[in-house]
A and B are shown apart, each in its own frame.
Chain A
Amino acid sequence: MTVKKTKPSMINQQVGWCGGCGHGIIQRLIAECCEELGLAEKTVQVVDIACAYWSIDTLNCDGIAGPHGRCAAVATGIKKMRPDANVYIHAGDGCSYVIGLSETCYAAQRNVPITMIVVNNGIFGMTGGQMNLATTLVGDRTVSSKNGRDANIAGEPFDFLNIISNYDIAYAARGALYDPKHINETKKMIKKGFENQRDNKGFSIIEILSPCPTNWKMTPVQAMEKIKNENEKVFPLKGYVDKGGEN
């Protein structure tokens, strides 16, 4: 019997993410891409202090965590001192678009050739489900917007990839995970991000719409439906910047 598909060997144990959490799929895609591109031995992971943190113990590579929101700056420091390493960020939307908005923008502004993967699950997951200023949809109930997000009080969510497209970067794209077809497209985006780094083309950011069944208070299947029917309308799935050259 030949094994056609199995857990990448770069992943050395299961992570304790909630059942149906998108982080598990994302971590697998990252590991698959690193292995397929022959970058596993050069990979350095940068995770934030949030749900992505749990990835640090389960990938067979050097890793560093946090501080919360500062991943883009930490990754910049590492890439500058270890330019041959394949440095990627696995961080949430709170880390990258709220507390760490400045750091994310400046890693792009400096066009540091790292691969930044941002998990957009429309909420602050690790801390118990508070509203995310950048990505919670208007009307969504969270523990800090119990009657639904009110745009008059908290403003509207925003499409960060529109902002980042103004910088001279290599790649920006958004994918989703709600069915295998979209997962495969997202994987292509992640792979592009790693190829750009390998070829020193500049900063790549891949945002992935991901479910948080626990804090959305739905089943994983319902959460995927919500992304397809609601979140995708606010955060379109498409490429924003692709200066990396041929696919």
Chain B
Amino acid sequence: MSENFALMKGNEAIAESALRAGCRFYAGYPITPQSEILEYMSDHMAERGGVFIQGESEIASISMLWGAAACGARVMTSSSGPGYDLKQEGISYLSSYNLPAVIVDVMRYGVGDGEITEGQDSYWIATRGGGHGDSRQIVLTPASVQECADLTCLAFDLAEKYRTVVIILSDGGISQMIEKVVLPEAKEHDMNKFDWAIKSYKKPEEPKVKVTNLDRSMDYAEYDQMMRTKFKTMHENEQRWEEFMTEDAEFILVAYGISSRVCKSAVRLARKERLKLGLLRPVTVWPFPAKAFEKLTEQVKGLATVEMSLSAQMAQDVLLASKHRFPVYSYLTSKYVATPKGIVEYCWRALEGKEEELEVY
């Protein structure tokens, strides 16, 4: 048995994988259902030689991240729901100066305090730039404990590759489920290798680093263009998705995270009923896997998203990515995890013209 084999919760897999990826600074605040990430870090960070701080708030935590990330370290914070709201200023600052950082949002359901269990509340805020907007961050959506581990490791590498914030958009279902997982090999990170980082010692004649809310080493036009080029490059190179029985599908579900797991069962159930259902599962929701939609042919009669939210959030991105080539439907399951039967019945109704197509507002 591999020494990396474990049985753990999604939250624990994220934390352990982060430590193995070289994360040596974590600051966070308790909020359900992500508190295990904080607790795991409080237990294990010190033995890896890193720093764990239980912050006095989510804002304080991400502000500490701004400082630690500026030093070139691999850093992480996590939150959920209203706590994720408080991270926004920090996400904007980190993005403005192009600092690598990993932020975990374990989604809940609902606006405001909402419910503290499974849900997919924050798709829009995670994918629309964070903070007061006008930027892009890579957003990864694990749908299993194994993906929690793999995508966390990937998150740190992508963050460093592009000097970007990477958001791991988990949810209360994935975070709490216990599954077997093969954890990544541990690796060390050298925080002194970056010339953009704050150091402990610099001679007077050495160039100095000034980390501010806007990289002022270039003028606005140059900065704006640099950012757009970065976003375009990430969009071009980092789209990730899974296709499940889509080759001959006549109707395709689009879902991520907890909802996507049920969709696989729904696909199998539908096929027993002679409905050729397929699933397109985004693994990045930014960049949204537009390339996956380009491959779809006219045999596809429609697309339906399955989301645990009150608004059709991802459905709008499906409309954009599919360029209005297909009717798009949105199956919103509120705070309840979808059932395979419910999904299949919805698809039948959509095909029979008994469901309204997506309305954008």
List the count of A-B residue pairs having beta carbons below 8 Å apart. 121
CB under 8 Å from chain A, chain B span 146-171: none
A66 to B209, CA, bound (A): 15
Residue with the greatest number of chain A CB neighbours at <10 A, chosen from B51, B53, B200 = B200
Interface membership of A64, Cβ < 8 A: yes
Interface membership of A1, Cβ < 8 A: no
Known interface pairs A73-B60, A77-B67; A66-B212 also in contact (CB < 8 Å)? yes
A81 to B89, CA, bound (A): 22
- Interface size for A (C-beta < 8 A) is 35
Known interface pairs A49-B213, A82-B199; A60-B60 also in contact (CB < 8 Å)? no
Residue with the greatest number of chain A CB neighbours at <10 A, chosen from B57, B63, B69, B71 = B63
CB under 8 Å from chain A, chain B span 191-226: 191, 198-204, 208-213
Chain B positions 49 through 68: 1 when the CB is less than 8 Å from some CB of chain A, otherwise 0: 00101011101110111111
Residue with the greatest number of chain B CB neighbours at <10 A, chosen from A60, A78, A110 = A78
A185 to B48, CA, bound (A): 44
Taking a contact as CB atoms under 8 Å apart, the answer to whether A57 and B210 are in contact is yes
Closest to A42 in B: B201
- Interface size for B (C-beta < 8 A) is 39
CB under 8 Å from chain A, chain B span 29-57: 51, 53, 55-57
Taking a contact as CB atoms under 8 Å apart, the answer to whether A73 and B55 are in contact is yes
Known interface pairs A81-B51, A102-B57; A41-B212 also in contact (CB < 8 Å)? no
CB under 8 Å from chain B, chain A span 131-166: none
24 A-B pairs in the complex with CB atoms less than 8 angstroms apart: A41-B201, A56-B212, A62-B199, A62-B208, A62-B209, A62-B210, A64-B70, A64-B198, A64-B210, A64-B211, A64-B212, A66-B212, A67-B89, A67-B90, A67-B93, A74-B64, A74-B66, A76-B67, A77-B68, A81-B71, A84-B200, A85-B200, A102-B57, A102-B60
Could you list which residues of chain A lie within 8 angstroms of chain B, going by C-beta atoms? 9, 40-42, 44, 46, 49, 56-57, 60-67, 70, 73-78, 80-85, 102-103, 105-106, 110
Nearest first, the 10 closest Cβ-Cβ pairs linking A and B are A77-B67, A70-B63, A73-B63, A77-B64, A77-B68, A74-B67, A64-B211, A81-B71, A78-B67, A84-B200
Could you list which residues of chain B lie within 8 angstroms of chain A, going by C-beta atoms? 24-25, 27, 51, 53, 55-57, 59-61, 63-71, 73, 75, 89-90, 93, 191, 198-204, 208-213
